[in-house]
Amino acid sequence: MALHTDRVFESQLVQLRTAVLEMGGLVEDQIAQAMRALLERDAPLAHTVIQRDHVVNRFDVEIDDLSLKLLALHQPAARDLRLITTALKITTDLERIGDLAANIAERAIELAAEPPLRPAVDLPRLASLASGMVHGSLDAFVREDVALSLEVCASDDTIDGLHAQLVHSLVSTMAADASTIERAMRVLFVSKCLERIADHATNIAEMVIFMVKGRSIRHLDTVPREL
Amino acid sequence: MQAALSFDSPIKIQVHDLSVRYGATLALDRVTLEIPERRVTALIGPSGCGKSTFLRCLNRMNDTIRNVTISGRVQVDGEDLYGEQIDPVVVRRRIGMVFQKSNPFPKSIFENVAYGPRIHGLRDIVALREIVERSLRQAALWNEVHDRLDASALDLSGGQQQRLCIARALAVEPEILLMDEPASALDPLATAKIEELIQELKRDYTIVIVTHNMQQAARVSDYTAYFYLGRLVEFGPTEVLFTNPQKPETEDYITGRFG
């Protein structure tokens, strides 16, 4: 791809792409730290995650500002236009993922103050899958990789399946011992957050496909295998 | 070179394998293109890409240039524009043209618009008045000049002069209007008026416009053709060409990755 004749525009597009990636990296770390706080019952770490959410929010605002500036001043077309509109939408998803990480951290604080609950469920596996989808969608964004985006979209079903299993087993736990209800509800909430994170990662991957191909695959009943 | 597009209106102009040489220079290289009726088709591309040459072929304006060789076919409503029995004067009545620089005659506003019908033999002053009023209204100039039709056209502002030239072109009731950079010498407000006028005019006329201003092409046209080095690179619905062009060369040009 040739460079823009307009150097300022070129460098601002690079700046936009970099900001999205920085925000993505931060959000991934938020998920990782929130899960660590939950599993290691580390309330101070959970507080750090909650406090750091405002940095994620600031990225959201800054990327919006930069995108609007680029739209207004350079009247971008074609792939540039698609990059900028994609950045605008991706940041909304990243910001929500950030909120969900903070929600997990809040549950981690509550759970750390209560006796441990040992559910027969694999929360760490769910977390690593969800976080892997976020990572994959951002990788696809950087590399403009449609195949990887489709892979991310396809893995959403696995997450939904795991979440359903988890709900089922937590319901059994609560039915067997009413004293677990409060804690089990919190764990359930964490699982729901992870499932939502995967949904947002899917949105990002879909937007990447739009960015690269100019075609929308959103709201289709099945994920196409290739484009 | 390109799969046929499906238009939402009938085809008005059919261009097949059109090449133009000025002496030894190939200005247009085997262009095949169909232009739909009552739509705005924009021709874009860097200077020297052949877009103006192409436009001028559509009303045989290139005939007047020495050393020009034109091959291929241009048909309007299925009729060959370069056929032996075709009178170029009749062609230019059916196909009007507006240029980059407004060029009113040093006459009154009325006489500028009445000029075409007059040279085509109309003498009836009542009919001429009707044509002048209708044309000025169509060109969105009537309200500004109706009380001073005898004033010199040269006293009008640049934007008004350009709309007067459009009125003059409309006075002979053409079917097609060719515009070569019609707003490039105008300020943004006058440009906006011309662009609004183009939207009005496409109800009755087939419009082909050459523009260097890509945002203008994006705003006013239904279809866009991108020319480069005398070739037609890509032709398609404007919204597709500006959001998701199919050819990398088009993409580079419209995103400013060029030169």
- What kind of fold does domain B11-104+174-254 have according to CATH? Rossmann fold (3.40.50)
How is chain B split into domains, by residue range? 11-104+174-254
- DSSP secondary structure letter of residue B95: E
Q: Check CB contact under 8 Å for A6 and B256.
A: yes
Report, in angstroms and rounded to the nearest whole number, the Rg of chain A calculated over CA atoms: 19
What is the reported pTM? 0.82
A56-92 tens-digit pLDDT = 999 999 999 999 999 988 889 999 999 999 999 999 9
Residue B73's identity, in one-letter code, is R
Would an 8 Å CB–CB cutoff place B66 in contact with chain A? no
Burial A159-196 (b: 16+ CB within 10 A, else e): beebbeebeebbeebbeeeeebeebbebbbebbbbbbb
Residue A218's identity, in one-letter code, is R
Residue A55's identity, in one-letter code, is V
Q: Check CB contact under 8 Å for A82 and B244.
A: yes
Beta bridge partners of A59: none
Q: H-helix or E-strand containing B39?
A: none
Question: Phi and psi of B97, rounded to 5°?
Answer: -140, 145
Q: Over 50: is that where the pLDDT of B1 sits?
A: no
Report, in angstroms and rounded to the nearest whole number, the Rg of chain B calculated over CA atoms: 18
Count of A–B CB contacts within 8 Å? 41
Indicate the residue of B245, B258, B259 with minimum beta-carbon distance to A78.
B245
Q: Check CB contact under 8 Å for B258 and A5.
A: yes
Q: Tokens 């591309």, residue?
A: B45
d(CA B105, CA B194): 20
Nearest CA in chain B to A4: B257
A83-122 tens-digit pLDDT = 999 999 999 999 999 999 999 999 999 999 999 887 656 8
In the sheet with B231-237, reading across from the earlier edge strand, the strands are: B95-98, B176-180, B206-210, B40-44, B223-228, B231-237
E strands of chain A, at which residues?
A: none
A162-191 tens-digit pLDDT = 999 999 999 999 999 999 999 999 999 999
B144-185 tens-digit pLDDT = 999 999 999 999 999 999 999 999 999 999 999 999 999 988
Does domain A7-213 match CATH 2.60.40.420? no
Token couple for B230? 């005398």
Would an 8 Å CB–CB cutoff place B242 in contact with chain A? yes
Question: Phi and psi of A99, rounded to 5°?
Answer: -60, -40
How is chain A split into domains, by residue range? 7-213
Would an 8 Å CB–CB cutoff place B256 in contact with chain A? yes
